[in-house]
Structure formats: C-alpha cells, structure tokens
A = this chain, B = another copy of it.
C-alpha cells in the first residue's frame, strides 16, 4: 500500500504535465481527454481514475502553480523585507521562474478563465482559488509594508488586484507582439509605476 500510491501520484503528475502541453497547443475546449492521455502515455482509464473531469484537472494545475509561486515568494521574504525595490525585482523574477513557459501558462489560464466566464460552476471554483491566492499575497504585502515602513494609499487587497490586473494585461500585450515588445518588458516597466503610485514612505 505504498508503491501503488507513489505510482498514482506519478501518473497524476504526468497527466498534469501532458495537459499543460496539449492545452497550450489546442486550447482548453479543443483538447480532448484522450489527447491529454496520449500525450502523457496513458489511456482514459488512467485519467478518470485520477480526475473527475477536465475542469478538475485544470484546477489542480492552477493550484499547483500558485502553491509553488507562493512558496517561493515566502522563501524570499526574510532576506528582502527591507529593500522594497529589490523585492519587486525578486518577485518579478520569481513570476518568470515559477511559471516555466510564460506563453504556455498565459494561454491556459486565459482559456480557463474564459471557460469560467461561461460556466458558473467553474467560475465558483476558480474564484475560490483566486481569492485564496489574493489573500496570501495580501498578507505578504501587509507584512512587507509593515516591515519596510511603507504605507499604501489603497487597501492592500486593492493593491494586489491592481498588480494582478497590470501583470495580466501587460503579459497579454507582450505575448501578442513579441517583435515590438520584448518579453516581460511591459511588466517590468509598469509595475514600478504602479507601486510608486500607491505607496509612499511613512517617515
């Protein structure tokens, strides 16, 4: 009762990996469960014994990514709490790093967001996840601002929302016109502006 469990999580992982690629290539609706299984080297039997549906798999994918990201950010905190400037760079670096392939990830998350806009069930689940992610980020922001004597002119939660909006909007632009806009340059240009706009030193 131990090796089977280990192999189970391994197939889960391979299915998630496979799904990442297939979704990026064909889109969420365009990718059949069978495509995903083929890519991962399994049959649908494996899929349905690990996930209840395609939605469930995507949500697992999101959870894994946000978990990883939060973990990495928290690991950074102790060192950088006192240097907000470098912290921003560091966090941006992490975003690039935690998300292996920006293009791939953007495609998938955008697709599923669209899907959620049309499916109340998916929307509920996605919102729940995103709310938890925002809550974690908000807590981090509050800690940082306390430690570094920074005050925000808007509530931390609003600030987090703004950062997410800018990040996603900027990424969309830079992916769409890679020749005019070097990858990530917009994010790196915009976020400091935003940070500057809502923060001021408290003394």
Contacts and interface: CB of A to CB of B under 8 A. Distances in A.
A196 B197 contact: yes
A115 B114 CA distance: 13
A154 B123 CA distance: 37
B172 A113 contact: yes
B186 A197 contact: no
B175 A117 contact: yes
A164 B127 CA distance: 23
Nearest to A124: B177
A10 interface: no
Contacts of A193: 153-154, 162, 194, 197-198
B166 A165 contact: yes
A132 B166 CA distance: 21
Interface string A146-159: 00000001100010
Interface residues of A, number: 47
Contact of A167 (B158, B169, B175): B169
Copies of the protein in its oligomer: 2
Interface string A169-180: 110110111001
Interface in A119-143: 123, 126-127, 130
A131 B123 CA distance: 32
A18 interface: no
Contacts of A190: 161-162, 165
Interface string A21-32: 000011111100
B166 A166 contact: yes
A103 B107 CA distance: 20
